[in-house]
Amino acid sequence: MQKWRIDFRVWHWINAFVIMGLLGTVFLRKTFLSWRANSELLITKLSAINIDIAPEEAVKIAKAIRAPMWEWHILLGYALAILIVWRMILFFTQSGKENYKNFNEQTLHDKIVKIGYLGVYAIIVFMSITGLLMVFHEELGLLKETVEFLEEGHELAYNVILIFVPAHIIGVVAAELAKDKGIVSAMINGGEK
Ligand code: HEM
Ligand code: HEM
């Protein structure tokens, strides 16, 4: 069983909450706080009380309703950018290397899982860089086309995270129930026992 130092466990759980929070903000943006759905709702509900509103105005209001929620995407995004730097520093510790040592002696399944983690780290780096470039596009004087390109890449890579999170949770639970009893509690108590 792996041993995880306290700082690595703290990193893992903060990272887990931040990423699930980021996915939560995306979920809200695409569902309950969607500007398309809410601007149409504004138009129909206002017209029912005889108020006519231009579609562009309804879109502005719908986006204003969404804005305070989306600030959380940016705040959690800053946290994620710090967390990925912290993870890089952790690579110099025993826990940080735990999953990547004696690679050749591992089963094919475990090799795939561990390469998968490294792939996810690469995606997190990409999300952080594209996200920060979008936030600071004015200060950096980026072209509109560049920002659109960044957003497309950011949204495409998001799908990897969307698939990874449930797959990872199902994976560790399945491992816990099969050959790796204690794998989940080890990420909580360090696996010293
Ligand atoms: C909330 C439920 C979660 C549970 C129960 C959980 C549990 C675990 C466990 C037991 C491990 C060690 C597995 C192993 O050594 O192969 C692990 C590793 C890992 N977890 Fe999670 N996790 C959760 C959420 C997340 C989320 C949301 C992320 C977001 C990206 C994440 C990212 C990672 C990464 C990258 C590793 C590999 C660490 C390394 O570099 O060695 N986990 N997790
Ligand atoms: C795993 C981490 C992340 C995920 C899964 C994620 C996901 C997404 C998704 C899906 C969108 C497109 C939303 C839409 O148009 O419907 C988006 C947009 C955006 N994200 Fe992220 N993101 C992450 C990290 C970050 C980070 C680290 C930052 C920067 C601090 C950031 C800043 C932004 C910005 C500025 C936008 C554009 C919003 C707009 O056009 O109004 N994101 N993100």
pLDDT at 81 over 70: yes
pLDDT value, residue 137: 98
pLDDT tens digits for range 27-78 = 999 999 999 999 999 999 999 999 999 999 999 999 999 999 999 999 999 9
pLDDT at 25 over 70: yes
- Give the number of whichever ligand sits closest to the CA of residue 22: 2
In which element (H, E) is residue 10 found? helix 6-30
Distance of CA 155 from the midpoint of ligand 2 (Å): 7
Give me the helices (H) in 91-189, please.
94-97, 108-135, 137-140, 144-177, 183-189
> Ligand 1, residues 12, 103, 112, 126: which to mutate, most atoms within 8 A of Cβ?
12
Which residue has the CA at smallest separation from atom 11 of ligand 2? 155
pLDDT tens digits for range 119-135 = 999 999 999 999 999 99
pLDDT value, residue 193: 57
Kindly list the structural domains of the chain, giving each domain's residue range(s) and its CATH number in brackets, ordered by start: 6-189 (1.20.950)
pLDDT at 12 over 90: yes
